[in-house]
Chains A and B, each alone.
Chain A
Amino acid sequence: MKENSVPFRVSALDRKAEHLGGQIEQRGGWRVAAVYSNPETEAAAVREGVGVADISPMRKLALKGKAASALLQETFGEAPEKVGDVLAVEFDDTEVLAVKLVSDEFLILASPGMQQITLEYLKERQDGRFITILDRTAGLAGLVVAGPKSNLVFRKCCALSFHSEDFPSLYAAQSSVAKVRTIILRHDRGEIPAFELFFDRAYAEYIWDALMDAGKEFGIQPFGWQTSQLLKK
């Protein structure tokens, strides 16, 4: 590289965060919203109503191929069994999720700075088997909609049933959200229902607006990275 600037990555929701007064920080080469008002207020809104946060920087590794399940087995010691199952594995206190999307297709979700589970790591263990492993971090935007009223927001834009019996935590489905194909993954934060959405990054601003509009009557609030940390506790 000749010009002396440092490459930075932005989420497709960068401008939204800025416009909403988000305090932008650089984390692992990404610009992310740390907080909008203050973490306590945002956390309270999520606990009582519904909140939405950008989780686009999450690492998203896609595996396709008949042997993908075996590769996961070798990597995690187990693999999600049925389509829709989500396996949560701890690596040094960081959680990695493995989602079974189709019998021969999986999505691995890890935090952006995660050292162990990387594209290279998986490729090294491919061992000549026909498995396509792609890092979809760039292509998939991510949002989390969390709070007891999140299902009320979803029923305005998705035809699936979000009843806990039909859609429990650590379950995933692919369907249309506001007319956009989306991977919906329920991953509760303790007692708080939380749905992670992953979809084509080009739709990110549209989906954000659609969710904010649908959630208006429930007082939907954006929350930042700091609040996410607070909710984990």
Chain B
Amino acid sequence: MKQLNELTGVVDTTERLTFTFNRKKYSGFKGDTIASALYREGVRVFSRSFKYHRPRGLMCLSGSCPNCMVNVDGTPNLRACVTPLEPGAQVTSQNAWPSPQTDLMGFFDHLGSFLPVGFYYKTFMRPKTMWPVYEMILRNVAGLGKLDPRPEGYQEIEYEKQYRHAEVTVVGGGPAGMSAALAAAGLGARVVLIDENLALGGHLRYHKGDRRPSISPIIPFVNGEASDFTGLARKLSQAVYASENIEVLLGASAFGWYEGNLLGVVQVDRLIKLRTDQLVVATGQMEQPLVFENNDLPGVFLGSGLQRLAHLYGVKPGERAVVVTNNDYGWHVAVDLLAIGVEVSMVAEARRQMPDCPAAAHVRASGVPVLAGYTILKAQGKSSVEAALLIELGEDGAPIPGEDTPTGEDTPGGSEVAVACNLIAVSMGFVPNNALLCQSGAQIAHDPSLDNFRVSSFPPAVLGAGHAVATDGVDSLVLEGRAAGLQAALRLERLDEGIKRQGSSQLIDSQRRLDRARSPKEHQLAFRTLASVPGKSRKKFVCYCEDATEKDLRDAIAEGFDDIETLKRYSTVSMGPCQGKMCSLNTIRVCAHETGRSIAETGRTTSRPPFVPVKLGVLAGRKLEPTRHTPMHHQHLALGAKMMDAGQWKRPEHYGDPHAEVLAVHEKVGVIDVSTLGKIEVFGPDSLPFLERIYTNRFANLKIGRIRYGVMCTEEGVIFDDGVVARLGEGHYYLTTTTSGIGGVYEWLTWWLATWRLQVHVENVTADYAAVNLAGVCARETLAKLTDLDLSSEAFPYLHLRQTDVAGVPTRLMRIGFVGEMGYEMHFPAPYGPYIWQALMQAGAEFGIRPFGVEAQRVLRLEKGHIIVGQDTDALSDPLGAGLDWTVKLDKPDFIGKAMLASRKKRGLREMLIRFEMINPGSVPGEGEQIVENGRFIGRVTSARQSPTLEKSIGMGWIPPEKAAPGTRLQVRVNGRQEDAVVVAAAFYDPDGKRLRA
């Protein structure tokens, strides 16, 4: 198609880009969107509607309606009219088969009466058993695009997240927004200017103005040079780019306002969390559709949509147009259409009085036929517009009642005129785009003089300017933007007095000029007629996303959903991808009209983020999952360890054969990396009283160099964590916690410190120390090769600690035995981890040392009957029932949980943690399985394993105390069967601890 010379589109016709749509080849230009390129190539039907599969074409060209949603390179639901065309893009249509032009599901359009409003609450309900079938069918025919989680042949999208900060953020790069940014930057503020388009300018880019020689001499940045809107846009944007203080984000949509002036901004596949001191919202306005029969037919455009198509992309939208309007803007649209060679067959002006604006004069002088006091009744055509049926309105601008009805709504009176055309431009007024303002807490009220909603008050640190606050007239836009920018900057605390004085006088000046410039008519925003034209038809669409018609709304209101919020929820109007941009105001009008209330009384629905569709991937951002490695991590990998997650840690689950690892510990010597254990040092003169209050145990009699197992409880008396407490010196203790418990324990300890105000310092030294447990009959001999310390049981007994050099590294050696064999827990500075591990493996080689993992440790401790907090205990487990009553010293003056434990003890135990073994040694119940008696639930299994040492299946579980005596027979469910088990005494292995203390 040849380029029209009047067109000043931003596309670069020298660079051709090819792409496919439904596998067919198309081409466009650099600067095109997918929609503009397809339209230029003759594509008219872009999608099929949500429910009725009606053909839908371009309408708004601004991303405000759902009509052009397509799948691009595997990503569904992208709005083609705001998605820049990339070479090689693979575009496919949605919700249509085989193509949107010939969609076989189009017959749904004839089933409308079977899909009434709220049909999903009423139909497809019975019989209940049929729901899965209904659901499958409904999901196939209704809805939007399909998400393929693993699209073949497409590159995985890299999403990312950014944090940004600004002193003043301006959303909207039109004349008001650019002026605001310039004014704030002029006072030295750090400004971020956001615009969803790929160029600054706002409506000045496609709305060409009055074509008068000069707009106004009062616009300060123009200095009287601008001859048209394009010139003004250029001047302002050049000044913006020249300013060092302004950062411009293009192609970026501010989709939500959050507490603390945080803006969610989406820029292609990037999420920007923009924290700003001051916010200026200059997001412009949105032209609104008119509700008439077949108002969704391809070829029915918003007037501004046609202007965008023509002026931004150089596309001639059609051959013959009918312009339907009720305000001066429609006449500008007519001027633009004439200028690009479109024949305007008719302008239907709803007002009886012809406007005296220059645009109207121009159109009439061009010989275009005009009908005053007319509007559109119906768009005619099969899959695109073929004619517009116009109808006469009454004196008051309202429909003329038909003969048979008093209201005229069913069959209107007045004469009808049919005009052949392939384009219908609807220009019935704008609604301020004030979603961000509403979200931020601005009060919005209906202004009867504008017949529209406007902001009545702003929250702190938020301002609005321009069309977004229902201001009109380009001079006013610039001046109001300027005033808002100055005001925002003046609120910054760091501005010095001189700058503040300068800014204040500029602000007074701008406001004075603004008062003079304000247009007395504010013509563009007038909505003097109904949003809806008469006619009983079912095909008058209010909500394009959800296929909700005016009749649906009337039916819903008749059913009692006459409050605007309930009407929204029941009819789902405004809940689709466009989020009410095209339907919110018309729904309010229909609701007001039907209920006989005023617009102000009807009110509006709450505005919530996101205002524009945001991909879930964008919200998820870059994958950031903090992972912790022990110092010996790579040695485990080299040894062939199978790693597992333990919270954020990576730990060896086993090195190939967990049972062999168990036996190695019992028979030779094993070593396990326990660096993940929480480690805390406690310092200070009040350390002892502090620990006495934290733990249930007594520590007053713990001597230096001694270790004691300790239990911490919550105030509820529930086990919170366990570990050992070693006394290193006067007022100096070393604590270990569980791997997963350390964060909580540290916060718990510091919280009580802040409450009690003791002279204690608590330091989390988990990462400072690597730790291994060297255990087994040959542990002593292995360690003896690396240290000069006397390791004999007399010199270094069980539950003692020694600080000494091991292989030349300062080490804390603790004789404790979680795994049930004699052993040493060695804690040493983390950077020596690889060295010590290597030294131990070398020293133990002659004894057959074997590294063991978490799985072997779990078996070993179960053989010994040791519990794991969090595995064998839950949020109800107290130490009395867990067999740890010996740690609970109720005779201490106070400790956390004492009061509740005392009362639990008084009331008696409800359940106890017992050890059991299965009669069938090969049967291992799953963790969490039920323990039953005569088929009735009496408890649950917390741990169970096959013990290679005992050649038995052993476990732990909670059951009522009366069944807990050793020797009691129980039944445990294993894989759905009940199998016999017997309660045994506390430890399966080495019950008297001889091996442990050896």
Tell me the smallest distance from the CB of B246 to a CB of chain A, in Å.
14
- Identity of the chain A residue whose Cβ is nearest the Cβ of B262 in the assembled complex: A159
Q: Mark A94-135, 1 if CB is under 8 A from B, else 0.
A: 000000000000000000000000000000000000101010
Interface assignment of A30: CB less than 8 Å from any CB of chain B = yes
Interface pair A132/B763, CB less than 8 Å apart: yes
A3 CB contact (under 8 Å) in B628, B684, B833, B839: B839
Residues of A close to B165: CB separation below 8 A? 161, 163, 166
Interface pair A206/B626, CB less than 8 Å apart: yes
Interface pair B842/A205, CB less than 8 Å apart: no
Tell me the smallest distance from the CB of B482 to a CB of chain A, in Å.
25
B634 CB contact (under 8 Å) in A6, A15, A214: A15
Interface assignment of B161: CB less than 8 Å from any CB of chain A = yes
Residues of B close to A203: CB separation below 8 A? 626-628
Q: Mark A118-159, 1 if CB is under 8 A from B, else 0.
A: 000000000000101010111110000000000000011111
Interface assignment of A202: CB less than 8 Å from any CB of chain B = yes
Interface pair A1/B808, CB less than 8 Å apart: yes
Q: Mark A1-30, 1 if CB is under 8 A from B, else 0.
A: 111011111111011000000000000001
Tell me the smallest distance from the CB of A126 to a CB of chain B, in Å.
12
Interface assignment of A64: CB less than 8 Å from any CB of chain B = yes
Known: A130-B759, A166-B165. A205 touches B829 (CB 8 A): no
- Identity of the chain A residue whose Cβ is nearest the Cβ of B165 in the assembled complex: A161
Docked complex Cα distance between A152 and B805 (Å): 46
Docked complex Cα distance between A200 and B628 (Å): 9
Interface assignment of A219: CB less than 8 Å from any CB of chain B = no
Known: A1-B787, A6-B808, A64-B761. A205 touches B833 (CB 8 A): no
Interface assignment of A178: CB less than 8 Å from any CB of chain B = yes
- Identity of the chain B residue whose Cβ is nearest the Cβ of A160 in the assembled complex: B163
Residues of A close to B161: CB separation below 8 A? 156
Residues of B close to A138: CB separation below 8 A? 767-769, 829-831
Residues of A close to B633: CB separation below 8 A? 205
Tell me the smallest distance from the CB of A193 to a CB of chain B, in Å.
16
* Residues 161-192 of A at the B interface (beta carbon under 8 Å): 161, 163, 165-166, 178-180
Residues of B close to A10: CB separation below 8 A? 631, 831, 833-835
Residues of B close to A134: CB separation below 8 A? 681, 763, 765
Q: Mark B683-697, 1 if CB is under 8 A from A, else 0.
A: 111000000000000
Docked complex Cα distance between A15 and B633 (Å): 10
Docked complex Cα distance between A197 and B65 (Å): 47
What is the number of residues of chain B that contact chain A, defined by CB distance less than 8 Å? 52
Interface pair A178/B624, CB less than 8 Å apart: yes
Interface pair A2/B833, CB less than 8 Å apart: no
Residues of A close to B768: CB separation below 8 A? 136, 138-139, 201
Residues of B close to A3: CB separation below 8 A? 785-786, 807, 839, 842-843
Residues of A close to B835: CB separation below 8 A? 5, 7-10
* Residues 322-361 of B at the A interface (beta carbon under 8 Å): none
Known: A179-B626, A202-B767. A1 touches B786 (CB 8 A): yes
Residues of A close to B786: CB separation below 8 A? 1-3
Residues of A close to B104: CB separation below 8 A? none
Tell me the smallest distance from the CB of B633 to a CB of chain A, in Å.
8
Q: Mark A186-229, 1 if CB is under 8 A from B, else 0.
A: 00000000000000111111100010011000000000000000
Known: A5-B839, A130-B685, A213-B622. A155 touches B831 (CB 8 A): no
Interface pair A205/B763, CB less than 8 Å apart: no
Residues of A close to B626: CB separation below 8 A? 178-180, 203, 206
Interface pair B763/A157, CB less than 8 Å apart: no
Docked complex Cα distance between A101 and B631 (Å): 27
Interface pair B627/A5, CB less than 8 Å apart: no
- Identity of the chain B residue whose Cβ is nearest the Cβ of A210 in the assembled complex: B624
Interface assignment of B451: CB less than 8 Å from any CB of chain A = no
Q: Mark B248-288, 1 if CB is under 8 A from A, else 0.
A: 00000000000000000000000001010000000000000
Docked complex Cα distance between A214 and B162 (Å): 10
Residues of A close to B521: CB separation below 8 A? none
Docked complex Cα distance between A155 and B766 (Å): 29
Interface assignment of B649: CB less than 8 Å from any CB of chain A = yes
Docked complex Cα distance between A31 and B845 (Å): 26
- Identity of the chain B residue whose Cβ is nearest the Cβ of A65 in the assembled complex: B761
Residues of B close to A5: CB separation below 8 A? 807-808, 835, 838-839
Docked complex Cα distance between A161 and B681 (Å): 34
Docked complex Cα distance between A180 and B743 (Å): 13
Residues of B within 8 A of A (CB): 160-165, 190, 273, 275, 622, 624, 626-631, 633-634, 649, 675, 681, 683-685, 759, 761, 763, 765-769, 785-788, 805, 807-809, 829-835, 838-839, 842-843
A-B pairs with lowest CB-CB distance, top 6: A139-B768, A9-B831, A202-B628, A161-B165, A138-B829, A1-B808
A-B contacts, 27 of them at CB < 8 A, read A1-B805, A1-B807, A2-B787, A2-B788, A3-B786, A3-B839, A5-B807, A6-B808, A8-B835, A9-B829, A10-B835, A30-B831, A130-B684, A130-B685, A130-B759, A138-B769, A156-B162, A157-B624, A159-B163, A163-B165, A165-B190, A166-B165, A201-B768, A202-B629, A202-B766, A202-B767, A213-B622
A138-B830, A200-B628, A201-B631 known; 4 new pairs, CB 8 Å cut-off, are A15-B634, A30-B831, A130-B759, A134-B681
